[in-house]
Structure 1
Amino acid sequence: MENLELACFQLISNVGLAKSCYVEAIREAKNGNFELAKEKIKEGDQNYVQGHTSHASLIQQEASGNPVQTTLLLVHSEDQLMSAETIKLMAEELIDCYKKMDSMK
């Protein structure tokens, strides 16, 4: 497997796991399990960092004068990276809302 393909698949895999963790965090917060939600966010962050590391390696390759060929796989992997970041932001906002709702009971 080419270096680009491997980096893209690592990126997709890791940020996919991160997104799943962020969604699980929302579900746990909805059920009032705020500590578990916090743990899921932290677990998601660890996966996100691993994915971001794969992306950073591609950026470093480009910066060192070795252009990275733009492929549909690369575009998809970067889209997954951005959507994971968005889902994390939404998860944090929803968790805060659930905490406020829980405190009003």
Structure 2
Amino acid sequence: MANQKALEELCVRMVSSTNEARICYLKSMQAARAQEMGAAADLLARGDEQYAVAHAMHVQLLQMEAGGTLDHVSLLILHAEDQLISAETYKALAVEAGHIYQILADK
């Protein structure tokens, strides 16, 4: 069984990173709406960096489960997983919004 405190800390860090990613993706959409395409791209990249951190933690959880050291799934783990999926959705929306605002700016 995984050390419960270490597992909880991992999940909290994962949630924190995914929240930072989502904030960056949302700000990227806001920057694109304001026709600040350079800032939008920078925020998208910063969001990707935070998402990568969270994804690495997700891989750790998967490795723990595969190795038999994660013998239960808690509400905290489920929350962390849900936040990761949410960040992916925000990224997809930010990318699409950036394309739409760029098309509008080019007209």
TM-score band (shorter)? over 0.9
Provide the rounded CA distance (Å) in 2 between the counterparts of 1:2 and 1:76. 16
Alignment deviations for residues 48-103 of structure 1 (CA, whole Å, 9 cap, x no partner)? 01111111111111111223421111111100000000110011001100000111
Provide the rounded CA distance (Å) in 2 between the counterparts of 1:99 and 1:50. 29
TM-score between the two structures when normalised by the length of structure 2: 0.93
Given the alignment of the two structures, is residue 94 of structure 1 paired with residue 97 of structure 2, yes or no?
Answer: yes
**Runs of 4+ that moved beyond 3 A:** none
For 1:17, give the aligned amino acid. Answer: E
1:18 to 13, 16, 21: 21
Name the % identity.
Answer: 33
List runs of 5+ in structure 2 lacking aligned partners.
none
Given the alignment of the two structures, is residue 28 of structure 1 paired with residue 12 of structure 2, yes or no?
Answer: no
Given the alignment of the two structures, is residue 57 of structure 1 paired with residue 60 of structure 2, yes or no?
Answer: yes
For 1:30, give the aligned amino acid. Answer: R
Partner of 1:73: 76
Given the alignment of the two structures, is residue 37 of structure 1 paired with residue 59 of structure 2, yes or no?
Answer: no
Provide the rounded CA distance (Å) in 2 between the counterparts of 1:50 and 1:18. 9
Provide the rounded CA distance (Å) in 1 between the counterparts of 2:72 and 2:50. 25
Q: CA RMSD in A?
A: 1.0
Equivalent pairs, count: 104
TM-score between the two structures when normalised by the length of structure 1: 0.95
